[in-house]
Chain A
């Protein structure tokens, strides 16, 4: 009898792990597609001040990503490229391509609550984290993501609430290595674009400074158009800056 219970518990654990993997994979597919183009508006709110930026983003999987700032005019034309875990930035004013060292990937981006890593979505929740279902409430599944051994990530843990009806997250909480809550992402206004679901309103903030947050609105989204290869070269940084 004990052997049967033991066998069942092993099978259940395996099934739940597979299910967690499956959910995270579908969630990631919704975010990335095979390739995706987005026009994003970002509002940084801090101590009563607001600053708005607009940018275009092209990405293919988690290895290739290109971002171009289109607003405000002063920053327009600044481009970012991420290729195979390396990142560069082109600044038209000085006409230089600058390599961003890995140590700066988690630096906050232009006073906002997102990091360079978030900008180019270099780290992958599918490849770098081990998921485990910790709670179910209707269609919403709470999954704990722990970094895999040797994975190049800094978060000690991520808790994500995934709606399995659309495979989109409504809230991610990021913890540091000491298990202290550091920041949160809130996702709202889920839209269906082609065969993918994606939240079009994101709010990002630090857990210890609630008066400071960043709002991101996805204004345009196009999936799987398959014409972005030209963006993923270093030459593109300068060429598409104009």
Chain B
């Protein structure tokens, strides 16, 4: 039956070429579309995680919902010692965040002031890359403050200027100091740039009575794919019911929702495309098979069963699909691989993007063999489904009736 199918493919060349081309194009486009969609989501996520949010963050329960000094992590050191034992973690650091008032003369603004460890922060986040003016913090930068560009603009501050700070220390007493602006950053995230500033923890801890206390611990993983496994390990190792370890999926739920919505719209447009491909192949098959009713009638008369006819059609579509997929898969895979290493750069807006510091202007593709394989499976499935209707159509004829069909 296989040889018979092969002969039919060669005999009905027009139909075979059309099916081959359609299958080839849809395979390549499907693989590239999914690869680009996944790649841009991964890129969006990596950029956001790079700026400030960690892949995993450990909090005292209640800190995120209620907030306040009562919900600070009280023994940061012991948790950090435990985290150091987990291989899959690339880097981690504690941060102390507080909301206070920054003032320069008559200009005042509320700000989230965060105490960070500058050296560790250079591995954990891209804050240092967002520098626009001045310099980033270092471990001994004392009362130097690294400030968002919009906040600096609001307070009429420049590098080297002094700014007064008043806030609540970790024991709820007043904390006040004069800081000197060492650097101004711009991430492109307006809210972040207009309300956040940073100091070196070694100095800030003294001011805030925050030694060994932290708002949360920020963790960067060696491989983001290990997220859930490492998070479970952290929960097990820390073993403290007052603490919670949250992944970026919870921390950045708004972004996750946006990505899910984007995925849904992506899949809707993709399914429309696939439906069109499916109907085109099916119509081609149907026209072809309709013109072969007489042939199928004769085959039934000489003893071929309905099963044999189905097998014949199945082999025909299988050979054509396989041929198209075998050629499409390496081409699409190579393109995905190339653009995963050399992302597409949108030259027209590259300069504008660079003005926003760490926001990337690249659209990398995702290279994942399992994803490519399931994309090809979809193409196979659609092709096999496309022969069902023509098959039922020819079966609606009795063999003798079919032999007389014109």
Contacts and interface: CB of A to CB of B under 8 A. Distances in A.
B73 to A, nearest CB: 14
Given A98-B108, A100-B101, A100-B108, A110 B68 contact: no
A209 B101 CA distance: 26
A104 interface: yes
B259 interface: no
Interface residues of A, number: 27
A135 interface: no
B142 interface: no
A17 B66 CA distance: 39
Contacts of B168: 110-111
B54 to A, nearest CB: 26
A75 B101 contact: no
B69 A111 contact: yes
A99 B164 contact: no
Given A89-B166, A94-B177, A98-B166, A110 B172 contact: yes
Interface stretch (A44-52, A120-128, A219-227): A44-52
B323 interface: no
Q: How large is the interface on B (under 10, 10 to 19, 20 to 34, 35 or more residues)?
A: 20 to 34
6 contacts: A69-B174, A91-B174, A93-B176, A96-B176, A98-B108, A212-B70
A236 B254 CA distance: 48
Contacts of B108: 98-101
A103 interface: yes
Given A91-B166, A94-B177, A99 B103 contact: yes
Nearest to A72: B173
Given A101-B110, A209-B66, A51 B171 contact: yes
Contacts of A103: 110
Interface of A: 44, 46-47, 49, 51, 69, 72, 74-75, 78, 89, 91, 93-94, 96, 98-101, 103-104, 107, 110-112, 209, 212
B109 interface: yes
A99 B68 CA distance: 23
Contacts of B171: 51
A101 B109 CA distance: 7
B81 interface: no
A104 B173 contact: no
B178 interface: yes
Nearest to B179: A94
A138 B126 CA distance: 66
Contacts of A46: 68, 70
B106 interface: yes
Nearest to A78: B174
B174 A94 contact: no
A235 to B, nearest CB: 16
Interface string B94-130: 0000010101001111100000000000000000000
B166 A110 contact: no
Contacts of B69: 111
B145 to A, nearest CB: 14
Contacts of B106: 99
Given A74-B173, A94-B178, A104 B68 contact: no
A99 B101 CA distance: 9
A75 to B, nearest CB: 5
Nearest to B167: A110
A213 to B, nearest CB: 13
Interface string B151-175: 0000000000000101010011110
B164 A110 contact: no
Given A46-B68, A91-B166, A104 B174 contact: no
Contacts of A51: 171-173
A96 B173 contact: no
A234 B101 CA distance: 19
Nearest to A98: B103
A155 to B, nearest CB: 20
Interface centre among A72, A98, A100 (most CB of B within 10 A): A98
Contacts of A72: 173
